[in-house]
């Protein structure tokens, strides 16, 4: 067996645990050869790869990032190429297939979020034996209850909330903590509940600034002279729009979110007259060593991906559903992001302890 592995999209704690598990299991159980593709699909387009042996993946379990590198720009179906002063997008998928054939690859493991796995699905449709592993701190991949990286991100965001808590109390301020998650509110919901946020704002529940201001003022009157607001980067006011930080033109997903915490903070300070500060957790949530949960999940997923290859279950990713690892068709993942359902148990429980979701929702 000759297996290639690539990590695509944004980096994520636990990627190295996956690479280690895939390589070690493939070598120990199947005496297979593992080829690490560099920088996601970029490496498949430009033929950049290296052989991974047992020693090379030894000692990487606790490392953040990915030893293979990644790219959230390289889409072989829409690859940006400079033509004079202009950038044009080209379909280089045939080049990728030729490169895989030249390398003598029997199967390809793609570790990534919905963007990477959707591209993987297209290659599967073109006859490449592909297996997927879900990766994202956002936890928004369909077909799996949880993706590795999420636990670490929640852990870091919660620590951030804990830290602003004490300074908010001391200065009698409103502190807003903006967390990542793209268009899904999983990180905000979980870190918000874990950190005891008074108000949690997620993209799935558009917020009303007047409801938030009323609650902040009433807390102040009652003697709780500080408030903690946890806001997802994709949150938006009812009737309003998301806050875009920048557009990365040649990216698979050009829109980068960010800054809604500052927008909310300015408005809130004006309405309430209470000093308000915003902290953006940003890429801290993606960096550094993975939690034990993510190391374990990464190891399980890597090992199960080799099982899928062995049983020739291509065109699938390994999903975790109700505590069992199951093959999930990549087609499911390509259908778009998994958002927080409005009837989610954690929303109900948070409401029942008095947490506000910015829209008057009650338990």
The DSSP code sequence of 78-125 is SEEEEETTEEEEE--HHHHHHHHHHHT-SEEEEEESHHHHHHHHHHHH
Answer for which of 7, 23, 72, 227 binds ligand F6P (CB under 6 A) is: 72
Q: Contact letters (x/-) for ligand F6P, 184-223, by CB under 6 A?
A: ----------------------------------------
Smallest distance, Å, CB 282 to ligand F6P? Answer: 8
Answer for which of 38, 39, 114, 138 binds ligand F6P (CB under 6 A) is: 138
Task: Kindly state whether residue 286 participates in binding ligand F6P, applying the rule CB under 6 A.
Answer: yes
Smallest distance, Å, CB 329 to ligand F6P? Answer: 22
Q: How far apart are CA 52 and CA 341, in angstroms?
A: 41
Smallest distance, Å, CB 223 to ligand F6P? Answer: 36
Question: How far does CA 142 lie from the centroid of its chain?
Answer: 12
Task: Kindly state whether residue 260 participates in binding ligand F6P, applying the rule CB under 6 A.
Answer: no
| Spatial CA neighbour of 38 closest among 8, 2, 12, 72 | 8
| Spatial CA neighbour of 245 closest among 229, 263, 231 | 263
> Smaller CB distance to ligand F6P: residue 225 or 256?
256
Structure tokens at 47: 């033929």
> Smaller CB distance to ligand F6P: residue 52 or 137?
137
CA 258, 69, 54, 311 torsion-angle sign: positive
> Smaller CB distance to ligand F6P: residue 168 or 339?
339
Structure tokens at 242: 């998301």
Q: Is 280 helix (H, G, I), strand (E, B) or coil?
A: strand
Cβ contacts of 274 within 8 Å, gap of 6 or more = 172, 173, 174, 216, 217, 220, 268
Which residue, judged by CB position, is nearest to ligand F6P in the bound state? Answer: 180
Task: Kindly state whether residue 181 participates in binding ligand F6P, applying the rule CB under 6 A.
Answer: yes
Q: How far apart are CA 54 and CA 223, in angstroms?
A: 60
Answer for which of 128, 137, 264, 297 binds ligand F6P (CB under 6 A) is: 137
Residue among 11, 39, 138, 151 flagged as catalytic? 138
Q: State the alpha helices, DSSP H only, in the chain.
A: 15-30, 41-45, 93-103, 114-125, 150-171, 186-194, 209-221, 260-272, 292-310, 330-333, 345-352
> Smaller CB distance to ligand F6P: residue 38 or 138?
138
Answer for which of 10, 13, 43, 290 binds ligand F6P (CB under 6 A) is: 10
Interface region with ligand F6P, contact rule CB under 6 A, candidates 100-108, 134-142, 262-270, 305-313:
134-142
Cβ contacts of 59 within 8 Å, gap of 6 or more = none
Annotated catalytic residue 29: no
As annotated, the active-site residues are 138
- Residues lying near ligand F6P in the complex (CB under 6 A) are found at 10, 72, 113, 136-138, 180-182, 233, 256-257, 286
């Amino acid at each position: 067996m000759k297996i290639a592995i690539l990590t695509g999209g944004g980096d994520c704690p636990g990627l190295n645990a996956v690479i280690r598990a895939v390589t070690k299991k493939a070598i120990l159980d199947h005496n297979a050869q593992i080829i690490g593709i560099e920088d996601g699909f970029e490496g498949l387009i430009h033929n950049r790869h290296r052989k991974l042996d047992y020693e090379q993946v030894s000692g990487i379990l606790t490392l953040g990032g990915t030893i293979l590198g990644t790219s959230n720009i390289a889409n072989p179906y829409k690859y940006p190429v400079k033509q004079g002063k202009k950038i044009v997008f080209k379909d280089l998928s045939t080049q990728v297939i030729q490169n895989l054939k030249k390398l003598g690859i029997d199967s390809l493991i793609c570790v990534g979020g919905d963007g990477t796995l959707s591209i993987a699905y297209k290659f599967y449709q073109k006859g490449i034996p592909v297996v997927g592993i879900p990766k994202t701190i956002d936890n928004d991949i369909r077909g799996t209850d949880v993706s590795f990286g999420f636990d670490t991100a929640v852990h870091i965001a919660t620590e951030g909330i804990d830290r602003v808590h004490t300074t908010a109390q001391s200065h009698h301020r409103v502190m807003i903590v903006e967390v990542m998650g793209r268009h899904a509110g999983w990180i905000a919901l979980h870190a918000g509940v874990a950190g005891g946020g008074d108000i949690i704002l997620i993209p799935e529940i558009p917020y009303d600034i007047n409801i938030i201001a009323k609650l902040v003022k009433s807390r102040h009157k009652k003697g709780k002279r500080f408030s903690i607001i946890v806001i997802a980067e994709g949150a938006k006011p009812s009737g309003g729009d998301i806050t875009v930080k920048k557009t990365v033109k040649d990216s698979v997903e050009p829109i980068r979110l960010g800054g809604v915490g500052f927008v909310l903070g300015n408005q809130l300070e004006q309405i309430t007259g209470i000093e308000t500060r915003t902290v953006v957790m940003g890429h801290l949530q993606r960096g550094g060593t993975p939690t034990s949960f993510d190391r374990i999940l990464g190891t399980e997923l890597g090992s199960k991906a080799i099982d899928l290859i062995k049983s020739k279950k291509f065109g699938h990713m390994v999903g975790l559903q109700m505590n069992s690892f199951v093959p999930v068709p990549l087609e499911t993942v390509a259908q778009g992001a998994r958002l927080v359902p409005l009837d989610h148990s954690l929303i109900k429980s948070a409401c029942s302890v008095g947490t506000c979701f910015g829209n008057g929702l009650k338990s």
